Every structure is written in C-alpha cells, then in structure tokens.
Amino acid sequence: MTKIECVLRPAKLENVKEALNEYGVHGMTVTQVIGCGLQKGRTEVYRGTEYSINLLPKIKVEMVIPDKKVSEVIKIISDAARTGEIGDGKIFTYKIDNAIRIRTGETGDEAI
C-alpha cells in the first residue's frame, strides 16, 4: 500500500477529485493548508502598511491506494492539477505498513 499526499492549488481541487472519482479512488482526506515553495508570496496592504504574505493557501489531499495503482493515480492527479505555472504543487508518496477498517477489522488492501 502507498500513501499519496499532494499539495494543490485550491482552485484545482474539484478537478482532481472528479478525475480520481472517475478512476475509482473514492476515499481521500482533504485539508486546507498554507505553505511556500518556488512560488512567491503576495503583498497585502492594511492601512497603508504593506505586508508580504509568503505563505499561500493551498489544499492538501491524502489517500492510501494499492501499490499497483500508484503510477496511474499520480498521472491522473498531475494532469488534473497542472496549469504549467509556478505554484501547481507537489505529490509525495510513502510506503504504508498496514490499514485497518475499524468497523469490521479488515486489514490491508481490503480495508482501503
């Protein structure tokens, strides 16, 4: 099992979610996050004082999937989230030891 964690533009969340749903990945956890990377921050002005806000709002999506689907899921996410501009985000993958469905006690691939 592999955990996929990706950081995306907020505006791309719907695209990604739909594409994954179509492919058959239904479970995911979504978090509103802020962060920085290559993309610069932005300037906001409050009563004449400018602030450089360097952490930008992003969306983090996490899901655990069977190993055989990993490359396909990565492609689906990349295609759905890409604009070609700096700030499209990143995808990280992790190996997962086990997964347990609390209700039934199922483990492994059956639990996800």
Partner 1 sequence: MKNRFLQIFTLFFTFMMTIPALAWADDAAQAAATIDTGDTSWVLIATALVMLMTLPGLALFYGGLARKKNVLSTIMYSFFAMVLISLQWSLWGYSLSFGPDINHLIGSLDWFGLKNVGFDPNPDYAATIPHQAFMIFQMMFAIITPALISGAFAERMRFPAFVAFLLLWATFVYDPMAHWIWGVDGWLRNLGALDFAGGTVVHILSGVSGLVACLVLGKRKGYGSEPMIPHNLPYVILGAALLWFGWFGFNAGSALGANGLAASAFVVTHLATAAAALSWVAAEWLHHGKPTTLGAASGAVAGLVAITPASGFVEPMSAILIGLIGGVVCYFMVSVVKSKFHYDDALDAFGIHGIGGTWGAIATGLFATKAVNPAGGDGLFYGNPEQLVNQLIAVAVTWGVAIVGTYVILKVINVFSKLRATDEEQDIGLDFTQHGEDAYTDLVSGSTLTTFATVPAVKATASVVKPAL
Q: Does 34 bind partner 1 (CB under 8 A)?
A: yes
DSSP strand pairing (42-46 vs 49-53): antiparallel
Q: Does 102 bind partner 1 (CB under 8 A)?
A: no
Q: Which of 14, 67, 72, 109 binds partner 1 (CB under 8 A)?
A: 14
3-class secondary-structure state, position 91: strand
Q: Compare residues 40 and 75 and give the one whose CB is closer to partner 1.
A: 40
Q: Does 39 bind partner 1 (CB under 8 A)?
A: yes
Q: Compare residues 52 and 98 and give the one whose CB is closer to partner 1.
A: 52
> Residue 46 CB, nearest distance to partner 1 (Å)?
7
CA distances from 98 to 19, 35, 38, 84, 111 (A): 26, 29, 34, 36, 9
CA distances from 56 to 22, 39, 40, 69, 89 (A): 29, 9, 9, 31, 11
Question: Do residues 58 and 35 make contact, with C-beta atoms less than 8 angstroms apart?
Answer: yes
> Residue 105 CB, nearest distance to partner 1 (Å)?
35
Q: Which residues bind partner 1 (CB under 8 A)?
A: 9-11, 14, 34, 39-46, 48-57, 85-87
